[in-house]
Amino acid sequence: MALIRTVRGFTPKIGKETFLADNATIVGDVEIGDGCSIWFNAVLRGDVNSIRIGNGVNIQDGSVLHTLYEKSTIEIGDDVSIGHNVTIHGAKICHGALIGMGAVVLDHAVVGEGAIIAAGAVVLSNTIVEPGSIYAGVPAKFVKKVDPEQAKEINQKIAKNYHMYASWYK
């Protein structure tokens, strides 16, 4: 059973039909929408500030979400995929975005709707990633725009696949 812990008077809120892996950790001021999946060894640590996650989001194995005390929050839109071993620290990830494996997204960065952050990329603090674009590298830089419909199709397919994978664990 996942570790769900109240901290500083904040108890995590978990939406309907949301899968929590046995060793996922959800702490403090965290709200997770409906139909999400939080995978093995993922840590959502809302002890110092809030983490808000939309519907249909998957946060894959080993990912860590945290914030700065009284300075940054995390907002994740609907149908977002957060790859394996991703670190998100106080950033905003808009609807339908995809964060590739091992990427790091730092405080006050905004990843636009349908954007793709490549595996291993480091999105520095205060970076604005335009909707429908691909960013890659260390530090992450604009690579190219993607067809909005193609990006939406790919990103939503991944999000829906993770909803299916979660159903295998019921």
Give the chain's domains with CATH numbers: 3-167 (2.160.10.10)
Taking the model in full, what pTM does it have? 0.96
Apex 140 CA angle, 69 and 98, nearest 5: 80
Write the pLDDT tens digit of every residue in 57-111: 999 999 999 999 989 999 999 999 999 999 999 999 999 999 999 999 999 999 9
Element housing 162 (H / E): helix 148-167
pLDDT attached to residue 148? 81
> Does 148 sit behind a cis peptide bond, omega within 30 degrees of 0 on the bond before it?
no
Write the pLDDT tens digit of every residue in 133-144: 999 999 999 999
Q: What type of residue is 132?
A: G
Sequence-distant (6+) residues with CB within 8 A of 45 are: 25, 27, 28, 51, 64, 65, 66
Write the pLDDT tens digit of every residue in 19-54: 999 999 999 999 999 999 999 999 999 999 999 999
pLDDT at 2 over 90: yes
pLDDT attached to residue 170? 81
pLDDT at 154 over 90: no
